[in-house]
Amino acid sequence: MATPDLLDPKSATHNTKPLLSFSAKSVALSPREESQVVATVMKRKTVTAIFLLVVLYLVIGAAVFRSLEQPHESAQRFAILSQKLKFLSKHSCVNQSQLEEIVKNVVSAMRSGVNPVGTLTNHSSLWDLSSAFFFAGTVITTIGFGNISPHTEGGKIFCIVYALLGIPLFGFLLAGVGDQLGTIFGKGIARVEKMFVQRDISQTKIRVISTLLFVLFGCLLFVALPAAIFKHIEGWSALESLYFVVITLTTIGFGDFVAGGSEIEYLDYYKPVVWFWILVGLAYFAAILSMIGDWLRVISKRTKEEVGEIRAHAAEWKANVSAEFKETRRRVSVEIYDKFQRAASIKRKLSSELGFSSAPELTLPRQTSLVNFNDEWERNEKDAGQQNSTPPARNGGLLLNGHNPERGDISII
Amino acid sequence: MQSVSRSWLLLSGFVLFYVIYLLFGALVFSSIERPVEERLRHDMQVLTEEFLNRSCVNAASLELFLLKVLRANKYGVSVIGNFSGATNWDLPSSMFFANTLVTTVGYGHTSPLSDAGKAFSIFYALLGVPFTMLVLTACVQRLMYPLVIAPVSALQKSGLNPRPATTIHFVLLLVLVLLAFFLAPAAVFSTLEASWTFLDGIYFCFISLCTIGLGDFVPATQPGVKHRGLYQISVMVYLFMGLMMMYLLLSFFHKMADLHGLTTLLQLPRCDDSDLEDDREPIVGGEPKAPPLKDKAASKPLDPSSQASYNSISKG
C-alpha cells in the first residue's frame, strides 16, 4: 500500500491538495444528496408505515368485533330458528316454502319502508315531505342512515345528481358554521384566558385548559344533552342514545337507530330541531376530529423526527465512511499517476543525458516499463559494475523502479 | 367591519340556499317515490290477506312472528334458507364492518348487537376516523405530485397558461376516475351480484365513495356467494382507493378554485401549501422548522379564525 510522501514537499502538497479539495467537496455534497434521498425515502416510508398501521388497526378492530358480536349473533339466530320451527309446527297448514316466500316479501317491503306489521292503513308514509326532507339531509351530510332509500330508477339517478351538487354545498355551509362556532367559542375562551393570564400561568397551560374547556362544553351541549333528550323521547337506553349521537355526528350513520324513525307520535318541531342539531353538532365534531387528527399528526411527526435523528446519524456515518473510502481510492490513483509521470519525466531526463532511445518505452504499460528498467539497471550495473562512485544523478536515475534513498521515494507497487 | 358583515351575509345566504336546496330535494323525492310506496303497500296487503286466507294462521300470530323476523333481520340475521354458518362476524366481514366504520361510510347492513360492541364502536370510531383521514391525506399528498402537479407543469411547458392547463387536466382526471372507479366496478358488480343492474352498480359506487353509505346495496351479502372473504377484502381495497381518488379530486378542485380566485371571493379557507412543504422538508441537516412552529402554536392564544373547518379535514 502506498505510504504518504512526507519528505518531498512537492509531492506532499500534491498529495494533500486532492485530500482537502475532494473530501471537503464530498462532505458538502453527499449529506445534501443523502438528505434529499433520505427525505423522499422517508416520506414514502412514512406513508407505507401509516398505511400498515391502519391495516393493523382494522385487523385489531375486526378481531374485537368478532369476539364481541359473534356469540350474540348465534344467540339471535338460534332464537329465530326456534321461532320459525315453533310457528311451523303450530300452524301445520303452512309449509316451509310458503313461509319463506312471505318472509322474503315482508323483508324487502321493510327495506322499502313499508311496514306490513300492524294494520297497514294508518301508517304515515316514509316519503311525506318532512321525512323526505330528512332523507335529503342525510344524503347531503353523507350520514346516510339507510332506513329510507330510493327504490325507483329515477330516484336513484336523482339521488346521485343531488348528492354531487349537495355535498360540496353542505361542505361550504359546514365550514361557515364551524367558523362562526369557533368565533363564539374563541371569544368566550379569550375572556377566560384573560382571567388566567392575570394569575401568571404559562401559555401552554392556558392553551391546554382552553382546549379542555372547549371539548367539555361542546360535549355537554352537543352530545350529552341530545343523548338525554333522545333517551327520553325515543325510549332508547343511555348507551344506545350516546351510540346514536356519535355514529350520526361522525357521519357514519348506520341507521339501526334513527331519531324520528320509529312509530312514535312526534312533536311537530322535533324533526327540524334534530336536523339543526345535526348541522351544528357536525361542525363541532369536525373540529374535534381534526384536533385528534392534529394530535396524531404531531405524534407521527415527533416519531418521524426521532426516527429521522437516528437515520441522520446513520446517514452521516455512512457518508463519512464512503467519503473516506472514495478519497483514499482517489489519492492512491493520483499517487500512481503521479509516480508514473515522474518516472516518465526522469526517464526523459535520463534519455536526454545518456542518449537512450527511451521513447518507445514510455508508451509501454507500467509493468513492462518497470521490467525494462530493471533489465537496464542490471545491464548498467554490469557495465559500470566497477564504478563505485557513480554520480548521484545517475545513481538516482538508475534506481527508477525502487527507492531513491536520497529522495525517500515511494516504491511503485 | 365590512368584512365581518359580509361574512355574516354570506353565511346566511348559504344557510338559506341550503334550506331551499333541501326543500327542493324533498319535493322531488316525494313525488318520485311515493306512488311506488303506495303500490308496494297495496301489494303487501294483498299478499298478507292471501296468506291468511289460505292457511290456518291467524293475523296475530303471523304478526308476532313477522316482528321477530324483522328484528332479527335488522341485525343481519336472515331466517331464509338453511342456517349454514354464513355469519356476519367472521374475520373478513368484521374487517369490512370496521372499514365501513372508520371511513364513515356506515352501510348498516350489520350493526353491533351487544352493548359492549356499541361502546367499542364509539371509541373505535372516535380514534379511527381522524386516523383514516390522516392516512388518506398523506396518500393524497404523495399522489398529488405524479398525478397532478407533474402533468400540469408539463402542459404549461408546452405553452398553455396555468388556468386552462389546470382545467384541462382536471377534466381529464375526472373522466379517468369516472371510468376506472365508477363504470368499470359497476360493470363488475352487476355481473357478480345476481340482483343488481348496471344502474344499481353505479348507484352503489357513488353512494359508497361519497361515504353516504345508505346500505340498501351492499356487495357480498347475498347468501351463497363464493369466496366471500376475498370478495369483501377486494371491495374494501376498492373503497379505500376510490376514497383516495375522490380526495385527490377534491384537493385538486380546491387548488383550482384558489387559482381561479373563487375561494377568496367566497371567503373560504384557502388551500394550505405549508402542509405539503412540511412533509418535504429535509430531515437531515435541514432548517429546524418544527420547534419554532410548536412554540408559536403554544404561545398563540386561541385565534377564532384558526378554528378547524370541515374542509380542513379533507385538505389536511
Handedness of CA B34, B36, B38, B41 (dihedral sign): negative
Quick one: pLDDT at residue B222? Answer: 72
- The answer to whether B190 contacts chain A (CB < 8 Å) is no
| A116 pLDDT more than 70 | no
- pLDDT, mean of residues B138-149: 79
Could A289 and B269 be called an inter-chain contact, meaning their C-beta atoms sit closer than 8 Å? Answer: no
Banded pLDDT at A380 (limits 50, 70, 90): low
More confidently predicted of B41 and B314: B41
Comparing CB atoms, the residue among B18, B114, B269 nearest residue A69 is: B114
Quick one: pLDDT at residue B30? Answer: 66
| B283 pLDDT more than 90 | no
Could B111 and A254 be called an inter-chain contact, meaning their C-beta atoms sit closer than 8 Å? Answer: yes
The conformational region for residue A367 under phi > 0 = left, psi -120 to 50 = alpha, else beta, is: alpha
Q: Which of residues 113-172 of B touch A (CB under 8 A)?
A: 113-122, 124-135, 138-139, 142
Comparing CB atoms, the residue among B7, B29, B79 nearest residue A155 is: B29
* Shortest Cα distance, chain B CAs vs residue A280, angstroms: 12
- H/E stretch holding A287: helix A270-354
| A2 pLDDT more than 50 | no
Distance CA A105, CA B64 (A): 16
- Report the range of poorest mean pLDDT among A127-136, A208-217, B81-90: B81-90
- The answer to whether B276 contacts chain A (CB < 8 Å) is no
Phi, psi of A137 (to 5 degrees): -60, -45
Give the domains, in start order, of chain B with CATH numbers: 12-79 (no CATH), 87-268 (1.10.287.70)
Distance CA A306, CA A298 (A): 12
* Shortest Cα distance, chain B CAs vs residue A294, angstroms: 9
Q: Are B173 and B147 in contact (CB under 8 A)?
A: yes
Phi, psi of B174 (to 5 degrees): -60, -45
Could B214 and A282 be called an inter-chain contact, meaning their C-beta atoms sit closer than 8 Å? Answer: no
Could A132 and B118 be called an inter-chain contact, meaning their C-beta atoms sit closer than 8 Å? Answer: no
- The answer to whether B286 contacts chain A (CB < 8 Å) is yes
Could A186 and B69 be called an inter-chain contact, meaning their C-beta atoms sit closer than 8 Å? Answer: no
Banded pLDDT at A331 (limits 50, 70, 90): confident
End-to-end CA, chain B: 30
* Shortest Cα distance, chain A CAs vs residue B113, angstroms: 7
Residues from chain A contacting residue B266 (CB–CB below 8 Å): 172
| A300 pLDDT more than 70 | no
Give the pLDDT confidence of A19-34 residue by residue, as tens digits.
333 333 333 334 444 4
Distance CA A301, CA A77 (A): 47
pTM tops 0.95: no
ipTM at complex level: 0.72
Mean pLDDT for chain B?
A: 72
| B183 pLDDT more than 90 | yes
What contacts A302, CB < 8 A, 6 or more positions away? none
Residue with C-alpha cell 353565511? B11
Distance CA A254, CA A248 (A): 8
Quick one: pLDDT at residue B37? Answer: 67
Residues from chain A contacting residue B73 (CB–CB below 8 Å): 107, 110
More confidently predicted of B76 and B131: B131
Q: Where are the alpha helices (DSSP H) in chain B?
A: 2-54, 59-74, 91-102, 115-144, 150-157, 162-178, 184-192, 198-209, 228-259, 262-265, 274-280, 290-299, 310-315
Nearest by Cα to A334 from A31, A23, A7, A30: A23
Q: What separation in angstroms does the CA of A287 have from each of A83, A244, B164? A: 48, 19, 35
Percent of chain B with pLDDT over 70: 66
Quick one: pLDDT at residue A226? Answer: 92
- CA A271 vs. chain centroid, Å, equals 42
Q: Are A178 and B308 in contact (CB under 8 A)?
A: yes
| A46 pLDDT more than 70 | no
| A241 pLDDT more than 80 | yes
Banded pLDDT at A400 (limits 50, 70, 90): very low
More confidently predicted of B293 and A118: A118
